[in-house]
Amino acid sequence: MKPVDLSYHRATSVDDALVQLAVGGDGAKLLGGGQSLGPMLNLRLTRPSTLVDISMVESLRRIESTSESVVAGAAATHAEIEDRPASDPIERAMREVAAGIAYRAVRNRGTIGGSLVHADPAADWASFALCADARVRIRGAEGERDVRMQDFTHAAYTTALAPDEIVTRIEIPRASARARFGFHKLCRKTGELAEAIGVVLVDPDRRYCRVVTGAVGAKPVPLPAAAGLLAATAVPPEPDALCAEIASCTGEHDPVKLHMAAVAVHRAVSRALGAP
Q: For ligand FAD, which residue of 80, 82, 91, 124 counts as binding (CB under 6 A)?
A: 124
208: Cα separation from own chain's centroid? 20
Burial 210-239 (b: 16+ CB within 10 A, else e): bbbbbbbbbbbbbbebbbebbbeeeebbee
Binding mask 189-208 toward ligand FAD (x if CB under 6 A, else -) reads --x-x---------------
Piece of the chain touching ligand FAD by CB under 6 A; list 33-41, 225-233, 254-262, 264-272 = 33-41
Minimum separation from the CB atom of position 40 to ligand FAD (A): 8
| Pick 191 or 228: Cβ nearer ligand FAD | 191
- Please pick, from the candidates 41, 76, 82, 113, the single residue that binds ligand FAD as defined by CB under 6 A: 113
Decide if 230 contacts 211 (C-beta within 8 A).
yes
| Nearest CB to ligand FAD, comparing residues 123 and 212 | 123
Longest dimension (CA), the chain: 59
Instruction: By CB under 6 A, tell whether 118 contacts ligand FAD.
Output: yes
Q: Which is nearer to ligand FAD, 31 or 272 (CB)?
A: 31
Q: With beta carbons less than 8 A apart as the criterion, state whether 168 and 14 touch.
A: yes
Q: Which amino acid does the sequence have at 276?
A: P
Contact characters 47-86, ligand FAD, x per CB under 6 A: -------x-------------------x------------
Amino acid identity, position 250: T
Q: What is the DSSP string of 85-126?
A: ---SHHHHHHHHHHHTSS-HHHHHH-BHHHHHHHT-TT-HHH
How many whole angstroms separate alpha carbon 177 and alpha carbon 13? 36
Contacts of 224 by beta carbon, 8 Å cutoff, 6+ apart: none
Q: Which is nearer to ligand FAD, 188 or 207 (CB)?
A: 188
- Nearest distance in Å: CB 118, ligand FAD: 4
123 near ligand FAD, judged by CB under 6 A: yes
Contact set with ligand FAD (CB under 6 A): 29-37, 54, 74, 101-102, 106, 109-111, 113-115, 117-118, 123-125, 161, 166-167, 191, 193
